[in-house]
Each structure stands twice: as C-alpha cells, then as structure tokens.
Amino acid sequence: MSNRPFPPDDHPALARLPVNYISGAPAGSRLAVHVAGKLDDVRIPLICVHGYYRNMSDFGDFIPQFHRLGERDWPIVLVDLLGRGRSSDRAEPANYTTPNDGDDIASVATALGIEVAVILGQGHGGQVAMALGAGHSSLIAGSVLIDASPIVDTPGLVRARDNMALMGSVRGQQQLMRVAHQVYANAYPGASDAELRELTARTHTVMKNGRVAAYFDNYLLKRLEKIRVEDIFTAQWALFNNLAGAPMMLMRTQLTDQLQRATFERMASLRSDAVQLVIPGQGSPALLSGEDEVGAIVDFVRFVSDGARRSGIVAG
C-alpha cells in the first residue's frame, strides 16, 4: 500500500466538489463520487472519467459551464478511480487495470440507480469507456472520447510518466512550480503562473517537510516504468468497436501528445456518424472551460437523452 496523502475537503481544486463514498471491489475499497444536478428518470446523466493519474478536479470548471450553457440541474457524476484523488488505493497494484476501472464505474452507476448514461472519458478515461462497452454495454447510451483511442501512444505515455515522476522528485513549492512550467508549457502555452499553480495542485501537494507528494498511488507510475519510447503496443480496435452501438463524440486537443492526428482521423472514418471536434490551443487534459467545446458536449448529451426518451429507454 502507498502512503500517499489524500486531498483534504477544503483543498481548493476540490472544495466545490463534495463527495460521498461508494463501496468498490474488492471489499473495503471506497470510490469518491460527486453528483451535480438532479438524477431523475427523464434525463440521461453524464458520467465523467478522468485520465490515468488524475482525478475529478479536471472537471471542476466543466460542471458550472455545462449547467450555464444547458440546464442548471442536469445530472453529472464525477468519480475518482481507485488510487486517485479521494478514493482508496487498490490493495494489489496488479489490479490497476482498465477493465477493473470499468467495473468500478459500473458499480457506481448501479449504486446511484443509473441504468443508462453518457460516458465522457479523457485519456485513460476514454479507454475505461471502451472497457465498459465490453463488459457493461447496456449502461452506455453514448460516449464522448477526449484524447483517447484504442492505440497506446508510447512516447506520450512515457513523457507523462516521466513528468509525473519529476514533479514528485523535487522539494518545495518553488521547485515544484519550476518543474510545472516545464511539464505544462507545451500543453498550455501562455498559461499564467496562477493557472499553472492550479493545474499542479490538482495532482500534487507540498508537505510540511517540503516533500512533494502526489494525490495518486505511486504504483500507477511503477506499472509503467518498463515501457520505452520505442515500444509498440497492439492496437485494440475491437475495444473501440465495443462502442459501436451508441452515439459517439470524438474530441482531440490540438496540442496533445496522447492521441496522434492520424489515429483520430481513423477513428472518425470508422465512426463517420460521430460528432468531431478539435479543441484549439491546448493539450491534455482538456481544460473543458470554453463555450465551444462544452456547448458541443451539452448538445450531444441532449441529443442522446432525447433519443433515449423517444425510444422508451428513459421515461418522459
């Protein structure tokens, strides 16, 4: 088990996202869940799943923007996957797998009485959505994949791993911010010091002794330590095809190193019916604060919900 810190309830990145806890698998694990808006039998809820080492704070700006552009109480569910944020760690590091994360999302939906949902996944969260398509296809009314694909982009994965390891190796706020400028410079050109500090605080904190600690289980990085830039993983197009039975939205940030343009274009060609959008001027994770991208997601979720209501999947 790791001895990582857990974000306090008044942590600035999470203070507006109070959580309840739902039991996960195995017994004893706890998933932190935030529900915004009102769950009902009329509207399809949106379940948001964060990236590999990240947590629900990546959606902190998204929720108020979604509610401002759509309906103020539309149901949105955020989850910290096990080993991240305020959720407990997995007892066995080998159990940090995408299918297990998918099973946990399905458990959250069951606990909340959600029978169908739109699944929005960033990076690893998009792969979790694909895993849900394999094991829990009846849950998925639609999917939004952001910088996610069935192909592992090894250079991007290695850079993310090394960047997170570097951030955790320094001491003190000043050194942490110096590294943060290096880590986020390419993804968010022109970001202010305050914006970089907020991004950094989503995943790392400076302890009283000056040590920098991560809000995720370090075993998540250890599982990636043997991967090299030149490694090539088998493309999992069958996993992508698990989402074929429901509407899809494909999004890519312009500056991402997690999803190559050619891969995005192939995904779009395989799903010519999918809504497609490129978010300009930023990388991964998408900030999801702009009216264009959030408005497009609002329209997509409404479209899916209206279609489900017409087909009788939800009441109303």
Partners of residue 205 on adjacent β-strands? 213
Whole-angstrom distance, CA of residue 184 vs CA of residue 78: 24
186 and 263 belong to one structural domain: no
146 and 25 belong to one structural domain: yes
The residue out of 195, 222, 249 marking a domain boundary is 222
* Short-list 36, 77, 78, CA closest to 57: 78
- Summarised one tens digit per residue, pLDDT across range 202-214 is 999 999 999 999 9
212 and 93 belong to one structural domain: no
Task: Output the tens digit of pLDDT for each of the chain's 316 residues.
Answer: 567 999 998 899 999 999 999 998 777 899 999 999 999 999 999 999 999 999 999 999 999 999 999 999 999 999 999 999 999 999 999 999 999 999 999 999 999 999 999 999 999 999 999 999 999 999 999 999 999 999 999 999 999 999 999 999 999 999 999 999 999 989 999 899 999 999 999 999 999 999 999 999 999 999 999 999 999 888 999 999 999 999 999 999 999 999 999 999 999 999 999 999 999 999 999 999 999 999 999 999 999 999 987 787 776 5
Specify if 260 maps to a domain: yes
166 and 26 belong to one structural domain: no
Specify if 145 maps to a domain: yes
Specify if 28 maps to a domain: yes
The residue out of 167, 187, 222 marking a domain boundary is 222
139 and 217 belong to one structural domain: no
What's the longest Cα–Cα distance across the chain?
Answer: 58
The Cα-based distances of 303 to 9, 210, 259, 275 in angstroms read: 35, 49, 26, 11
Q: Which two tokens stand for residue 249?
A: 């939205």
* pLDDT for 213: 95
Residue 91 φ/ψ, nearest 5 degrees: -65, -35
48 and 133 belong to one structural domain: yes
148 and 160 belong to one structural domain: no
Q: Which two tokens stand for residue 101?
A: 């994360």
56 and 109 belong to one structural domain: yes
The residue type of 22 is I
DSSP codes of every residue in 35-86: EES---SSS--EEEE--TT--GGGGTTHHHHHHHHS-TT--EEEEEPTTBTT
* pLDDT for 315: 66
Whole-angstrom distance, CA of residue 83 vs CA of residue 106: 17
241 and 144 belong to one structural domain: yes
- Between 154-167 and 172-184, two packed helices, what is the crossing angle to 10 degrees? 170
Which structural domain, as residue segments, surrounds residue 177? 155-222
215 contacts: CB under 8 Å, gap ≥ 6 = 4, 5, 6, 7, 55, 84, 85, 202, 203, 204, 205
Residue 79 near residue 108 (C-beta atoms within 8 A): yes
Specify if 71 maps to a domain: yes
Specify if 7 maps to a domain: no
Specify if 1 maps to a domain: no
Residue 183 φ/ψ, nearest 5 degrees: -70, -40
Residue 242 near residue 150 (C-beta atoms within 8 A): no
39 and 79 belong to one structural domain: yes
The domain that holds 103 is classified in CATH as 3.40.50.1820
The residue out of 198, 222, 246 marking a domain boundary is 222
47 and 87 belong to one structural domain: yes
146 and 159 belong to one structural domain: no
Specify if 8 maps to a domain: no
* pLDDT for 24: 80
Specify if 94 maps to a domain: yes
The residue type of 62 is F
Number of domains present in the structure of the chain = 2
